[in-house]
Structure 1
Amino acid sequence: MESQGTQRPKLVGPGGETLELPEPVFHLLRQIVTVLAQGDAVTVVPVRKELSSQQAADLLNVSRQYLVRLLDQGAIPYTKTGEHRHIQLNDLLAYKRKRDAQRKAALNELIQMSQDFGGYSECS
């Protein structure tokens, strides 16, 4: 009999069949169930998936034209087949992480500047 410390997470099917899960997969599934329970959608996509420029723009929540400018400026790697641009999901996510970090740093700098200058004065 296994002790509590050595038990492995298992997926149990409707017919009672079980499948042992690696611990990281168990934690991922728990996060997915939590998000779904809150009424949000979850999409699972292979990181090597290629996206169209419209799909990439939608993921970044920007216009397609803005995304194309980012691609042309070299901000995000892409390939081109004829007139169609294809962006690797992992490249897009790397750009998004970098952009989000820059935004957070800029916001923290604004907060610090506001505190340094006494913040906003209250109106009377």
Structure 2
Amino acid sequence: MTTLSPARALPSAAEVALARESSRTLSAYLQTRAETQQIEIVDDQGAAHPVRVPVSALRLLVDLLTEIGAGNAVSIIPIHAELTTQDAADVLNVSRPFLVQLLERGEMPFHKIGTHRRVRYQDVIAYKERIDVERNKVLDALAEQAQELKMGYE
């Protein structure tokens, strides 16, 4: 079973600066049609070790560095991961009891392992995308109504 690592602290100023620089440098090598790229890792003795990586992994690394360069802490979760109710609630930024209510109302699929509920990460993300679309529709309707009523939005 895949578990989420505990929340990391925000990156330090030095990590942010280094991540920005690394992201810019690596992104120049994403404009390739090759399926792999070779990078070098330098060990403590200064010896370089070449490593071939898929370009898709290099893109992910650039995305990761870009987020850290913006001062964000980052977590990577496999799409097929199964989350506890607390982990799923954390992804949605809701309380665990609220998430359990969503599950029991059938708004998101889940299964049980013994007495414990498990939710697939991709189902949590699909739910989040669905409610974000609904939320944006309501916000658009409210903005349109405010414009019609000339409430200062033009």
TM-score tier (shorter)? 0.7 to 0.9
2:112 corresponding residue in structure 1: 80
Which has more radius of gyration? Answer: 1
Does residue 59 of structure 2 align to residue 27 of structure 1? yes
TM-score normalised according to structure 1 size = 0.82
- For residue 137 of structure 2, give the secondary structure of its aligned residue in structure 1: helix
Q: How does 1:1-124 map onto structure 2 within 5 Å?
A: 9-14=37-42, 15-22=48-55, 24-120=56-152
Q: Percent of aligned pairs with the same residue?
A: 32
CA distance, structure 1, for counterparts of residue 110 and residue 95 of structure 2: 17
- More relative contact order, 1 or 2 (CA 8 Å, 6+ apart): 2
Change (3 A) 1:35 1:118: same
Structure 1 residue 12: deviation in Å? 2.5
Change (3 A) 1:112 1:20: same
Gapped runs of 5+ residues in structure 2?
1-31, 43-47
Question: Number of residue pairs matched?
Answer: 117
Q: Aligned AA for 2:85?
A: S
2:110–2:119 contact (8 Å) kept in structure 1: yes
TM-score normalised according to structure 2 size = 0.67
Q: Aligned AA for 1:19?
A: R
Change (3 A) 1:72 1:39: same
RMSD: 2.2
2:88–2:124 contact (8 Å) kept in structure 1: yes
Structure 1 residue 86: deviation in Å? 0.3
Structure 1 residue 41: deviation in Å? 1.2
Change (3 A) 1:55 1:102: same
CA distance, structure 1, for counterparts of residue 35 and residue 90 of structure 2: 42
Change (3 A) 1:7 1:98: closer
Structure 1 residue 62: deviation in Å? 0.6
Structure 1 residue 7: deviation in Å? 9.6
- For residue 107 of structure 2, give the secondary structure of its aligned residue in structure 1: coil
Gapped runs of 5+ residues in structure 1?
none
